[in-house]
Structures are given as structure tokens and as C-alpha cells.
């Protein structure tokens, strides 16, 4: 069994600690800072074996070097970003597999937010650690890649099993939801999700993980087929990729 601990850090980041009880192996996904990770490791009596980085931004790799120095763990990240990921030991490519005990994570290249962005998909654990590519009710800004690249990346994630749990790196759900409602106000699944999110945030609880099924029903960046969204961006005759690009631009100005 894969134990997953979510650590809220900085303003709205999440670090995920993954632990395989059988082997005793542990990985930290996108450790923005080291200290909260170290505290959990000490309290649990766990040893950190790996850091899984989705991309090179400082709020995802900021704890790499300190954790590596303290634990001797290996840093896993995109080989194409070896110059930008602090302490990278294991450079991976699209289609590679990383093992944590008995659990296997497939590396998927998802350029868009950054050119070297990758995600880690665990088929056996039904988990997706997607960094800043896919958010609940949103997707990452296009800092380096094109809208076409991000659209293609999201198509790959849309094809995963709908039961997949989505572990993204930020608590953006409520803010994303306000935008989603502006382009698809008549979506009852979205209305219900926002009510649930509002209650969770009122109690200062996380809105994650969501599931891919939830995102397919509510996330405007996965719903290019929606008549309401097409009308909202004046794109009734546009291709799905063009709809996505228009929605992304609208969100940037929201």
C-alpha cells in the first residue's frame, strides 16, 4: 500500500510524501522547502530515498539540496532540465519508469507550463502527481511552452483512467472555480464542486486530491466540447486546441 502525506507549505504549495510500507522506501514530490519534510520523516521514522521533481521552478525544487545533504536521497527529474533542477541525480525521459518499493510510476512529458515539465503516474496506486500541468478546475500558466503543447499534454492526462486521483502542487481550486463559473455557469457538476470546495476551505481543509472524473466534468481546460464554453470564447467553429488557447488567454486576464 502507498501511504501519501500532504504537506501544505509557503502560501499555497503542497509537498507530497509517498511511503511504501513493505520496502520502507519514501519519496518527496516537489519539496519547495526542506524542514516540513524532515519533521515528518523524523516523526514517522522514515528515510527519504527519492525526490521526484515535476519541473525546475523554485517553489518545487527549493528543498532539494538540503534534503539531499541531510538524507542522501536521489533527485529524479527531467533529463532535459538537468541544468535547472538542483541536485539532479537521475534524469528521466517520457515513458521511463521509477519504482518506489513495489509501486511503479510512469514518467510522462507534459510541456506547457515549462518545456521540461513531467508528471508521475502510478497505475497501480491510481495516482497522478502532476505539479503545475493540471490543477483542480484549472491548468498551469504557459511560461515556456505553447498553448498547443499544453493542450496536447492535457489530452494525454485526459486519457488516463477516470478513477485516477489528481495530486497537483497548489491549492488553487477555489480561485480556479471562480473563473470556471464565468465560462460555464450552467454546469451543475461545477456548481456542486464549488459548494463542496467552499465548505472545505471554510474549514481550512485541502481540496485535493480530486479525481480525473471530477476534472472531466468541471475543469474548463478539459471541456473544449462544452457549448457554453465555446460560446463564452466566441469559438463555436474553432478546433478543440483553439478553444483551449482562447480559454487560457481569458484566464490569464481574469
- pLDDT tens digit sequence for 117-172: 999 999 999 999 999 999 999 999 999 999 999 999 999 999 999 999 999 999 99
Q: Give the catalytic positions in this structure.
A: 55, 57, 59-60, 113, 132, 170
Tell me whether residue 60 is annotated as binding. Answer: yes
Query: Distance between CA 208 and CA 232 in Å, rounded?
Result: 28
- Alpha carbon of 232 to those of 81, 224, 242: distances in Å? 37, 11, 13
pLDDT in tens, 77-111: 999 999 999 999 999 999 999 999 999 999 999 99
Domain count, the chain: 1
Query: In a 10 Å sphere around its CB, with 0-12 CB exposed, 13-18 middle and 19+ buried, how is residue 195 labelled?
Result: exposed
Residue 184 lies in a domain: no
Residue 35 lies in a domain: yes
Is the pLDDT assigned to residue 236 strictly greater than 90? Answer: no
Whole-number percent of the chain with pLDDT over 90: 99
The conformation of residue 220, written as its DSSP 8-state character, comes to G
Tell me whether residue 56 is annotated as binding. Answer: no
Tell me whether residue 19 is annotated as binding. Answer: no
Residue 235 lies in a domain: no
Tell me whether residue 103 is annotated as binding. Answer: no
DSSP assignment of 115-175: TT-EEEEETTTTEEEEETTEETTEE---SSS-HHHHHHHHHHHHTS-TT-EEEESB--HHH
Confidence of residue 219 (pLDDT cuts 50, 70, 90): very high
CATH number at residue 107: 3.60.15.10
What domain range includes position 12? Answer: 2-171+208-218
pLDDT averaged over every residue in the chain: 97
Sign of CA dihedral 34, 144, 104, 82: negative
pLDDT of residue 66: 98
Amino acid at each position: 500500500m502507498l501511504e501519501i502525506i500532504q504537506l501544505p507549505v509557503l502560501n499555497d504549495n503542497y509537498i507530497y510524501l509517498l511511503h511504501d510500507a513493505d520496502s520502507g522506501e519514501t519519496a518527496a514530490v516537489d519539496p519547495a522547502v526542506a524542514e516540513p519534510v524532515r519533521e515528518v520523516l523524523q516523526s514517522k521514522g522514515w528515510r527519504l530515498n527519492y525526490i521526484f521533481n515535476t519541473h525546475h521552478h523554485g517553489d518545487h525544487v527549493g528543498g532539494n539540496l538540503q534534503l539531499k545533504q541531510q538524507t542522501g536521497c536521489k533527485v529524479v527529474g527531467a533529463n532535459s532540465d538537468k541544468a535547472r533542477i538542483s541536485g539532479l541525480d537521475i534524469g528521466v525521459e517520457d515513458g521511463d519508469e521509477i519504482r518506489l518499493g513495489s509501486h511503479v510510476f510512469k514518467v510522462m512529458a507534459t510541456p506547457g507550463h515549462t518545456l521540461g515539465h513531467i508528471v508521475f503516474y502510478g497505475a497501480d496506486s491510481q495516482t497522478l502527481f502532476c505539479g503545475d500541468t493540471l490543477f483542480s478546475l484549472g491548468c498551469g500558466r504557459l511560461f515556456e511552452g505553447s498553448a498547443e503543447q499544453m493542450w496536447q499534454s492535457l489530452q494525454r492526462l485526459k486519457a488516463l483512467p477516470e478513477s485516477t486521483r489528481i495530486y497537483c502542487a497548489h491549492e488553487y481550486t477555489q480561485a480556479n472555480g471562480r473563473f470556471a463559473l464565468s465560462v460555464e455557469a450552467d454546469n451543475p457538476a461545477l456548481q456542486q464542486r464549488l459548494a463542496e470546495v467552499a465548505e472545505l476551505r471554510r474549514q481550512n481543509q485541502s481540496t485535493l486530491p480530486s479525481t480525473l472524473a471530477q476534472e472531466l466534468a468541471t475543469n474548463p481546460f478539459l471541456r473544449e466540447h462544452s457549448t457554453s464554453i465555446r460560446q463564452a470564447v466566441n469559438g463555436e467553429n474553432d478546433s478543440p486546441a483553439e478553444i483551449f488557447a482562447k480559454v487560457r488567454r481569458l484566464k490569464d486576464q481574469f
